[in-house]
Structure 1
């Protein structure tokens, strides 16, 4: 028996659909992602904390879910919105259908709505505050309450979420990428020791560093520079993560201290924004952000174009770059800044996700550049 559900936006738009996840009410910033596959990796990406994810591809759930494709044990996203949930999930790796997975993870979700209409609203008006509510039956009082809840959501501007989703204690990581018939392997002969800040790190980032010979010590978001430097790392990695980078003063302070050394630094997504802020640049909230696996980005050094995975709602303002920080990559969708590097230090960063998961691997050589910088220092 199906259960009705509502999605109500702050502008008063109401979508009536079917509940496919946990029962309850969930409020967050509604964004859209254009990826055709990879819904489990998207859901478990901590960068989506306090956000309700709309997937634009119509059929979501075709191949089920499994424990190996999770980017984090917790789903930090506040909800999922899709057009159609298939009746069957078919894949040899599937362990659980999507609806059962959402219920097990306590995620409120809605299906059977016009996601094309919703995406057009988000495109034209920008990311909206929204509320998903499951119901016994539709009624006007529930719609009014959902609208009030949506409007009451404070929004992501000024919200420090990195310390919320971060690990509570440091740990070592040596697991490498999954291979058909082999699963995950372990790094046996590490060449580098990298300290990775967990601002909401995805597991595939850690695996791709391990693939390149890096033994990782993953540390919580609020770890001081002194604690990290005491570990004598060959390199420092600044991870992806959710929320506004500006309130993360603890991270910005630590990065400023790292920039007084010659230790190579590599940042992705939120880490990219934090490196920029620590270098004197500024960030800004985007209208609806970049969320998808088909974003063209140009490498300004050679004019080559990469198709990249993106997931961010804030960006570095190119006009704010100081003289020792130069642009390396730009989005061909809207011209926003996608990459930077310091001219006086072995430090660089990228706004997109070179680890993909899901998405193309065109930007994976950025990991190789990090390795090159550590080799040069050693």
Structure 2
């Protein structure tokens, strides 16, 4: 089935005319690219992509449909999707719906039959930027002017994706975990359940007193979207949580918020790390692992306070990928050890965390 004509316009003024795939309409977001070859259902439902338009650099998307048992959340969180070619078939025995059906169901605008290599090169050259996809307006100049009205720099995207009420998973489990939900992927929860943890998931704004009253054996600070500096209300809570000296696991946004809470700084990467093929070097073992990643910001190593040290580095740009503390029971990484999608090289991170108990 041939889709309606669609147009993608970047903040640089460059435009790409293609074909609509999914919901018809108009959407604005920060455009980013993902280099993963598989795992588009998990990528689309990762809450860390809130307010972003995802460009898939792999040329074929949609060829195995969508299996709703393997998603990272209950819905698609990105604003829009760009691909070289969308496939509307579902060649997988466990697929419940096609990608087109999934996009329409979630009211997500998509565009394909565009030069994604050129788009990725544009993002790499100028950095992540605002973009707009439309099936309504065909004039690129009009759409470029619309982009001028938007400013994403101040957005607290965590409030869009966090749970609004606490809830418990595996209430008969052994040890109690308090998980602060900044946009948690269910892949993280699934990995923690392998250790029979009793997990209570709290909203991002939960007070230290509420967490302490739960009397957890450990605390998890989850992944999430956006600029960590736009979530200042969690910093005092994290400082007080750390003072409990209970095992703490921080992943992605979680590690950035730990760093900010103790006076370090973060900065925005030119085009971020997104995909399932990012090499990370472990200082302690001198081994390299291939990791799954999704973040726009990184910790400024020079601003880390005494007591903290970097134990993982990204081999592509030497940015911080993990920190440890010389006395506190802390495991904190920038990459995603649960993968989902991606390689399982670093699932031992959960073993390290479990051993802290």
Under TM normalisation by the shorter chain, which class is it? over 0.9
- Partner Cα distance (1:158, 1:238) in 2: 22
Aligned to 1:178: none
Aligned to 1:101: 102
Q: Do the aligned residues in 1 keep the contact of 2:17 with 2:114 (CA within 8 Å)?
A: yes
1:219 to 191, 202, 227: 202
Is residue 2:165 matched to residue 1:169? yes
Is residue 2:23 matched to residue 1:26? no
Q: Do the aligned residues in 1 keep the contact of 2:331 with 2:352 (CA within 8 Å)?
A: no
Is residue 2:220 matched to residue 1:237? yes
- Partner Cα distance (1:265, 1:128) in 2: 34
Q: CA deviation at 1:87?
A: 4.6
Q: Deviations over 1:312-369 (max 9, x none)?
A: 0011011111111110100001100000012121123100100111001111111111
Q: CA deviation at 1:67?
A: 1.3
Aligned to 2:328: 345
Aligned to 2:127: 126
Equivalent residues, number: 356
RMSD of equivalent CA atoms: 1.3
Contiguous gaps of at least 5 residues in structure 1: 175-186
Q: Deviations over 1:213-237 (max 9, x none)?
A: 2110000000011100111101000
SS at match of 1:277: helix
Distance 1:99 1:87, change over 3 A: closer
Contiguous gaps of at least 5 residues in structure 2: none
Aligned to 1:64: 65
Aligned to 1:153: 150
- Partner Cα distance (1:252, 1:149) in 2: 35
- Partner Cα distance (2:81, 2:189) in 1: 26
1:336 to 297, 315, 319: 319
Farther-moved stretch of structure 1 (7-16 vs 276-285): 276-285
Q: CA deviation at 1:149?
A: 2.3
Aligned to 1:181: none
- Partner Cα distance (1:309, 1:151) in 2: 33
Q: CA deviation at 1:152?
A: 2.5
SS at match of 2:230: coil
Q: CA deviation at 1:134?
A: 1.0
TM-score (norm. length: structure 2): 0.97
- Partner Cα distance (1:116, 1:122) in 2: 10
- Partner Cα distance (2:146, 2:52) in 1: 14
- Partner Cα distance (1:51, 1:153) in 2: 13
2:270 to 284, 287, 310: 287
Aligned to 2:51: 50
